[in-house]
Chain A
Amino acid sequence: DSGVTQTPKHLITATGQRVTLRCSPRSGDLSVYWYQQSLDQGLQFLIQYYNGEERAKGNILERFSAQQFPDLHSELNLSSLELGDSALYFCASSARPGTGAGNTIYFGEGSWLTVV
């Protein structure tokens, strides 16, 4: 158990709909990352937050957005869903940079999204 909690584990929804994926980082971790894993694209970095602020952006579509709340949990919002958005979405967290463990990123078990 990595200590990173993601909900829901599985989600099936229709095209055009909107879903929210939730992530609780490991206790004390300030950084939260979102990744998408699909068969054709592999593991893609989407976005990172640090202590509530956006820190880095990857291959995140404009239809997707994320935020990190004061209690450090994060949500990834996916809207106007398309069939190609079907994937496993990972949340990950890491400690504060400069700490001994700050360079290690721990992943949750992922949220399986199926768009039909």
Chain B
Amino acid sequence: QVQLVQSGAEMRKPGASVKVSCKASGYMFGGYYIHWVRHVPGQGLEWMGWINCNSGVTNYVQKFQGRVTMTRDSSISTAYMELRSLRYDDTAVYYCAKDREGVSDFWGQGTLVTVSS
């Protein structure tokens, strides 16, 4: 069965970076994109971008351009999302999700990233 397992919760100081991993299993990793979405506490879902797990081509929402990098390691079926220059308002649960024709059909369990001094 399809599973996406994300890395554990992280705490960072403002200005630091965080890298979240998303290990996929149960399907052909290279055949699908991975989406990254975050959920800020008390707010809604926010789309961040996607990575083509075959070619490595990425596409980021303008808001995160210059601060986010999405990568993948096909040898271990794992996608990564790195966010730099963290701010307090980056505190959120970050999700990876498998793409199917644009929708996110399977989701990771989420990774809480807390930005605090």
Determine if chain A interacts with chain B. no
- Mark B residues whose CB is within 8 Å of A: none
- Mark A residues whose CB is within 8 Å of B: none
